[in-house]
Every structure is written in C-alpha cells, then in structure tokens.
Amino acid sequence: MSAQIYFISGIDTGIGKTFATGFLAKTLAEQQQKVITQKLIQTGNVDVSEDLEKHREIMATGWLPEDHEKLTMPEIFTYPASPHLASELDGREIDFAKINAATETLAQRYDVVLLEGAGGLMVPLTRRLLTIDFVKQQGYPVVLVSSGRLGSINHTLLSLEALKARQIPLYALAYNLNDDSQDEIIAKDTRQLLKAYLAEHFPDTVWIDVPVLVA
C-alpha cells in the first residue's frame, strides 16, 4: 500500500515551511508512523538540499538511505530563484517524471510522505505551470504553513480561496510560532481570526501549532 502524501506549502517565501515540515515529520515519527520528507524542487543549492538538511536536523535522524539515493531531493538548481527561472538559468528543464517517480518510490517505503514545495501556492514551476496546478494534478491534500506576522491574514485567506477555487483538499493549517518577525499582539489576534475562519469555512481542517523550540 502506498503512503499518504501531503503537500506542504506556505503563504509566502520564508514563512517557515522547512521548519514546519521537519517538526511535523518528527511528531509523526514519535507517534510510531514511518515518515519521510521530500523537497519538490530545491533552488539555490548544489548537489544537496539545505532544506532536507534542516528536516533531518529537526528529526534527529541524520541522512537517510533515500537521501543518499537523491529520492528526497530529485531536482536541485543552483540559482536562488523561483523554479521556473532557476531551471532556465541552469539550462535544463524540470524533470517532473523523475520527481513523481521518486515520490512514488518513497510512498512504497513509508507510511507518510511530506512533500515540501518551493515558496507559495502560486509560485511558477515553469512558464505555464503553477505550483497549485501541479498539486491539483497529483491530487495531494495540502498542509498550509502560516504565521502571525503582519500581512499573514491577507496571504492566508488568499491561499485558502485559491485552494477552494481549485477544489484542492486542505488537510491542515500549520501556524508557525517560530517566526521572529511576529508582534505578540498581532500574532495572538491573527491566530484567533484564522481559527475562527477555518471553523466556519474549512471545518474539517486540522489546526497545528508549530512551536518555537523542537527538543
């Protein structure tokens, strides 16, 4: 039986997807689930994904066999830009067949695969394909990472509306408390407002608080 695959996206670049992905993997592992993380496309690196390094640090596993096989980081581009541009600058197209084959292999070996995207839902993977459209094609439920920083309400609600418009299931909203840019008053109010919005419009969605420290 194949694993449950969740797509981890964010409301913006730098919102804490990598930290949240590692935390979720660690939490699931502590619940005796066999879990692995994967990076859809890594930019700004050579040979090894720094996001995968952070996942493994949080999970306290060290490199896994699938990391050495590059199944967890099938596409890496050197320029720190949106995937569509990074791939063009490196002079090669993104190999989606390779990515999907790697994900399926991981799904055959694990109970849960957490597939971390690059940036937000509307980030272009190619000049014609947005991240959200790739997720729709694959049928992955989404874990959306948000936080209490100023502007998060707008970005979060826009992301939720985009998912609803494409009828993509939202499994969970991960609220990243590990965000140094947050104002305490704004963050508290943002959390209350988003929880109320989800309860009304996405009642089946799981709320996850991603804590400041992962020990």
- What pLDDT, on the 0 to 100 scale, is given for residue 96? 98
Say whether 15 counts as a known binding-site residue. yes
Q: How confident is the model at residue 214 (pLDDT cuts 50, 70, 90)?
A: very low
44 appears as a binding residue in the annotation: no
User: Known binder of ligand: residue 117?
Assistant: yes
Cβ contacts of residue 98 below 8 Å, gap of 6+? Answer: 74, 75
Task: Give the phi and the psi of residue 24 in degrees, each rounded to 5.
Answer: -65, -40
Q: What is the rounded average pLDDT for all residues in the chain?
A: 95
| Cα separation, 26 vs 215, whole angstroms | 10
- 116: annotated binding-site residue? yes
Query: pLDDT tens-digit profile of 13-44?
Result: 889 999 999 999 999 999 999 999 999 999 99
Domains and CATH numbers, the chain: 5-210 (3.40.50.300)
> Mind telling me the catalytic residues?
39
Q: Is the pLDDT of residue 194 over 70?
A: yes
- Output the pLDDT for position 213: 62
pLDDT of 179: 76
Return the axis-axis angle of helices 152-165 and 184-201, rounded to nearest 10°: 20
Residue 47 is assigned to a ligand binding site: yes
Kindly report, residue by residue over 43-83, the tens digit of the pLDDT: 999 999 999 999 999 999 999 999 999 999 999 999 999 99
Query: What pTM, to 2 d.p., does this model score?
Result: 0.96
Which pLDDT does position 182 carry in this prediction?
Answer: 80
Neighbours of 195 (CB within 10 A): 14
3-state secondary structure of 28: helix
Does 119 show up as a binding residue in the annotation? Answer: yes
